[in-house]
Amino acid sequence: MKITYATMSADNEELQQSYDDALERVTPGLGADHPLVVNGEERSTDEVFEERSPTDRDIVVGRYSQASTSDVDDAVAAASAYAPEWEEVPWQDRVALMRKAADIMEKRTFDYAAEMAYEVGKNRLEALGDVAETVEFYRYYADQMEQHDGFTIALSALSDNESNVSVLRPYGVWGVISPFNFPLALAAGGSIGALLTGNAVILKPSNVGALMAIRFMDTMREAGIPPGAFHLVTGGDEVGDHLAHHPSVDGLTFTGSYDVGMYLYKTVREDRPKPVIAEMGGKNPAIVTATADLDLAAEGVARGAFGFSGQKCSATSRVYVERPVYDQFVRKLVEHTRNLAIKNPIERDAFTGPVIDEEAVQRFKEAVEEVRSKGGEIEIGGTVLVDDGLDRGNFVSPTVATAPEDSYVWSQELFVPFVVVGPVDSLEEALVKANDTPFGLTAGLFAGDDKEVETFFRDIDAGTTYVNRAAGATTGAWPDIQSFGGWKGSGTSGAGGGGPWYLRSYLREQSRTRIG
């Protein structure tokens, strides 16, 4: 059985002990200084970002040198110079390198997951899943290169002395800008896709989560990635903006907010056409019909809404329930939420840990106040947690709310553990409301009727869809299991990460005709 977010179990004693052992190994190394890496050169700068754990602000996770725009220029120049040589490396050799990196990372799964818990507050299974997903990206994309024979296809000919072929070739230099919430998988996924297809890559991770990007670079260097093919520039928004708009960068992968994603999508191509793969979040609906298994639905919604404290672009954030089962569903969801363990994520039984920073805490408090000011109800939660040492971190309670439909909690992506629930008269009404959003990332349905399922799949405007999924109503996609990508304002490429069409986004076609 594949180990995924949906199949890992907290009851696995061997897994728990391996994680405990990893905590002992990695904890003494927290707080170290980390350079950026340009063309294989480690550069330490005077400006440093100090990352503190959201679990305990007294814990320094790492100190990261901050790149200047000149460092970015150097990385782009080195990548530009090396890109033609990297393209000439046989695709089979690039595949072998990625598989070697996968083997290296797999051996470090528990160490990286333990560091990730300190860095962004993921519980054990979520952190282990992040690392395991990254390993799967290496292997799945390598398999895709093989299955497509390096993306070269023979075409027809008009005469016996003519040969025609379609060759998919890399763009050249690719920038990757990654967020904090999947600090390893989202730094690596786009980078692996670009590198495998022959592009030279500059990665700029979020400062919050940068340690995992550094671990990705460590893995790649040990596997033997050429210095000119992969560069790491740590820094803030100015660094990312300079990289994205650099005239010698030929393509960009960005994961983050809608506002920033649309800004980049519109502006980085002003000088010339460039591919921009942007995944920009969601306001993901779940629908519960009168034919649903309500226990299954309550579990799926709770896991989808509150896993990693709701800090997933795929998080379940609004639920539409048919009226005959509405009250019963809300009661079951409240009870399921009441039983979730909110604590330090390194502890064995923690389900939900902290939110990432004080800004997220404030956003949570404002959402709670919004519900109350609009005459809604906080069914459970709504508090900042301070007991048992949680005041040292950014802990808030998983919250189920009801609110009028004109409240912004129905429309704005909150990125905190907060879900709003409301009644509908039919599946058709639920679908209209579910689709009434600029976003279209994920969506879920709980129903016991096949026609309802068919209607949902046909009419929902979302790129990643689930039916009757207890492991997460709208969350938990896995490479080669569920392609992960959004429609409308949630995505630009039309190809989901971890799916069979993803690598195509990093390639452009060249038609070759030869006579004689």
- Nearest CA to 441 out of 301, 282, 333 is that of 282
Phi, psi of 258 (to 5 degrees): -60, -45
DSSP label of 35: -
How many residues are given for the chain?
A: 516
Residues designated catalytic? 279, 313
Q: Are 131 and 120 in contact (CB under 8 A)?
A: no
Helix (H) or strand (E) holding 154: strand 152-154
Rounded to whole angstroms, how far apart are CA atoms 123 and 452? 35
Rounded to whole angstroms, how far apart are CA atoms 424 and 405? 12
**Which token pair is 404?**
């009028």
What single-letter amino acid sits at 194? A
Instruction: Convert 167-208 into a string of H (helix), E (strand) and C (coil).
Output: EEEECCEEEEEECCCCCCHHHHHHHHHHHHCCCEEEEEECCC
According to the model, what pLDDT value does residue 3 have? 61
- Nearest CA to 225 out of 410, 400, 135, 99 is that of 99
Cross-sheet strand order for the sheet of 200-205: 41-43, 36-38, 230-232, 200-205, 173-178, 251-255, 276-279
Rounded to whole angstroms, how far apart are CA atoms 187 and 176? 7
List every span in the chain annotated with CATH 3.40.605.10: 23-280+493-515
- DSSP state string for 218-236: HHHHHHT--TTTEEE----
Buried-state track 466-476, b at ≥16 Cβ within 10 A, e below 16: bbbbbbbbbbb
* CA dist 505 → 142, 196, 478 (Å): 15, 12, 19
Please state whether beta strands 60-65 and 32-34 pair in parallel, antiparallel, or not at all (unpaired).
Answer: parallel
CA-based Rg of the chain, rounded to a whole angstrom?
23
Report the number of secondary-structure helices (H) and strands (E) in the chain.
14, 22
Whether 511 shows a pLDDT value over 90: the answer reads yes
Q: What percent of the chain lies above the pLDDT cut of 70? A: 98
Whether 64 shows a pLDDT value over 60: the answer reads yes
Whether 406 shows a pLDDT value over 80: the answer reads yes
Rounded to whole angstroms, how far apart are CA atoms 168 and 334? 52
Burial of 388 (0-12, 13-18, 19+ CB in 10 A): exposed
Q: What are the tens digits of pLDDT across the range 339-361?
A: 999 999 999 999 999 999 999 99
According to the model, what pLDDT value does residue 1 have? 47
Please state whether beta strands 399-402 and 377-380 pair in parallel, antiparallel, or not at all (unpaired).
Answer: antiparallel
Q: What percent of the chain lies above the pLDDT cut of 90? A: 96
3-state helix, strand, coil in the chain (%, to 5): 40, 20, 35
* pLDDT (average), residues 289-314: 98
- Residue 27 three-state SS: helix
DSSP-H helix ranges across 68-163: 69-88, 91-107, 109-120, 124-147
Q: What are the tens digits of pLDDT across the range 377-387?
A: 999 999 999 99
Largest CA distance in the chain: 80
According to the model, what pLDDT value does residue 4 have? 72
pLDDT tier, 431 (very low <50, low <70, confident <90, very high otherwise):
very high
Q: Are 120 and 102 in contact (CB under 8 A)?
A: no
- Nearest CA to 284 out of 455, 453, 464 is that of 464
Q: Are 477 and 453 in contact (CB under 8 A)?
A: no
Rounded to whole angstroms, how far apart are CA atoms 82 and 68? 21
Rounded to whole angstroms, how far apart are CA atoms 34 and 312? 27
* CA dist 152 → 79, 95, 189 (Å): 24, 16, 23
Please state whether beta strands 251-255 and 507-515 pair in parallel, antiparallel, or not at all (unpaired).
Answer: unpaired
Buried-state track 293-324, b at ≥16 Cβ within 10 A, e below 16: ebebbbbbbbbbbbbbbbbbbbbbbbbbbbee
List every span in the chain annotated with CATH 3.40.309.10: 284-479
- Per the prediction, the chain carries an average pLDDT of 96
Rounded to whole angstroms, how far apart are CA atoms 336 and 351? 12
Q: Are 198 and 1 in contact (CB under 8 A)?
A: no
* pLDDT (average), residues 492-501: 94
* pLDDT (average), residues 502-508: 98
Q: Are 265 and 252 in contact (CB under 8 A)?
A: no
Rounded to whole angstroms, how far apart are CA atoms 304 and 326? 19
- Nearest CA to 470 out of 378, 326, 272, 336 is that of 336
- Nearest CA to 400 out of 431, 355, 367, 363 is that of 367
According to the model, what pLDDT value does residue 224 have? 98
pLDDT tier, 12 (very low <50, low <70, confident <90, very high otherwise):
confident
Fold assignment, 284-479: Aldehyde Dehydrogenase; Chain A, domain 2 (3.40.309)
The CATH classification number of 23-280+493-515 equals 3.40.605.10
Q: What are the tens digits of pLDDT across the range 96-154?
A: 999 999 999 999 999 999 999 999 999 999 999 999 999 999 999 999 999 999 999 99
